Amino acid sequence: MRAPRYEHQDVRFNMAPLIDVVFLLIIFFTLVSTFASAENIRMDLPAPDKSKAQTLKIVDRVVLNCQFAPGLAGAGGRVLYSVGPNPPEDLDTIGQKLVAARQANPKLKAVVRADKRVRYEQVREVMVMVADAGIQDLSLVAHVGTAEE
């Protein structure tokens, strides 16, 4: 009887699944970066003098936008309020959403972004609404630029 002969087989690495995974990761990170940037509506923020504002990465937060709408409600324009990138809503609806979000997450933080053409009284209404919802951590966003701006 003869001993069985084993032939050497070449070990090969299949690249097709690896390429699929890389493409899926590229698509995932592209979508995530798009969703993160959609939260920032383009508006002109005020630039206070000698600001010590810092950029913070807050995970449990809600962004409230106060956007100036020129030509609406008379010559002065009016303010459109929205939560993040969502369409504008009235303050009562936003207040109810804040109360529900605060009940779901007791450590909820609020970030108020206001166009520099929005009057303080209109921003103050949002600040009072945040306080009424029981949110104790409130941040105001302002543009900190150079003296030439």
CATH class of 61-141: alpha beta
Its pTM surpasses 0.75: no
Q: Is the pLDDT of residue 4 over 90?
A: no
Query: Are 102 and 134 spatial neighbours (Cβ–Cβ below 8 Å)?
Result: yes
- How many residues are present in the chain? 149
DSSP character string of 81-135: EEETTSPPB-HHHHHHHHHHHHHH-TT-EEEEEE-TTS-HHHHHHHHHHHHHTT-
Q: How confident is the model at residue 144 (pLDDT cuts 50, 70, 90)?
A: low
Once rounded to an integer, what is the mean pLDDT over residues 36-58? 64
Q: For the chain, which residues make up each domain, given as ranges? A: 61-141
Query: What's the CA gap between 143 and 113, in Å, rounded?
Result: 10
Q: Is the pLDDT of residue 129 over 90?
A: yes
Query: What's the CA gap between 55 and 46, in Å, rounded?
Result: 16
Query: HEC states along 35-48?
Result: HHHHCCCCCCCCCC
Q: Is the pLDDT of residue 59 over 60?
A: no
What are the pLDDT digits (tens) for 73-123?
Answer: 445 668 889 988 888 899 899 999 999 888 888 888 999 998 888 888 888
Instruction: Provide the residue type at 98 as one letter.
Output: L
Query: What's the CA gap between 42 and 126, in Å, rounded?
Result: 19
